[in-house]
Structure 1
């Protein structure tokens, strides 16, 4: 049986990141936002990203388009799209990356 042994680490102010599972083709990561106003700063990467909102609410920006998401919502962020979010109420995002984000290991 596999047991997750990856630690929870600081990501941005008020945000932690924990790798839940990974191999070279795919990675699943939990981002936990502790407070309203915590941000996932605008950034881009080569990985395709799928985001699932486990809890909380967030305002996302993808290539300049903004939208609000809450529990149960999910969406895909294309490769190299500039994106980020602001926490509207504390919660957790589950992000999947293809291929794996080696910079998170």
Structure 2
């Protein structure tokens, strides 16, 4: 069954939209609308894979920083402290295993 999820504010200048989900996996689009928008440092028990659809970002994962551009992807381990800063507006596609139930609760 196809579900449609609304776009919600994640952080200032950043929206989040769940694209698909199951108990074991979730796909989410994060749209960064302006240079300087941030995904604040945080951690969660889910393994996360991030694919850069568009834009340019600098990520911090467990204190190590690196830049990513369209077509690049990487994995963030469970409980790693991570966040990003937008250098050029764009879209990140994140997958989470298992699903981020907190994202479903914050979708009206």
> Scaled by the length of structure 2, what TM-score is found?
0.95
Q: Does 1:16 align with 2:15?
A: yes
**Which structure has the highest strand share of the two?**
2
User: How far 1:34 sits from its partner (Å)?
Assistant: 0.1
Structure 1 unaligned residues grouped into runs of 5+: none
Q: Does 1:71 align with 2:70?
A: yes
Match of 2:35 in 1: 36
User: How far 1:60 sits from its partner (Å)?
Assistant: 0.1
Match of 2:54 in 1: 55
User: How far 1:99 sits from its partner (Å)?
Assistant: 0.2
Off by >3 Å, runs of 4+ in structure 1:
none
Structure 2 unaligned residues grouped into runs of 5+: none
> Scaled by the length of structure 1, what TM-score is found?
0.97
Counterparts of 1:5 and 1:92 in 2: how far apart (Å)? 18
User: How far 1:46 sits from its partner (Å)?
Assistant: 0.0
1:90 partner SS: strand
Listed as ranges, the matches of 1:87-98 within 5 Å are: 87-98=86-97
Counterparts of 2:71 and 2:58 in 1: how far apart (Å)? 15
User: How far 1:77 sits from its partner (Å)?
Assistant: 0.0
Counterparts of 1:101 and 1:65 in 2: how far apart (Å)? 24
User: How far 1:53 sits from its partner (Å)?
Assistant: 0.1
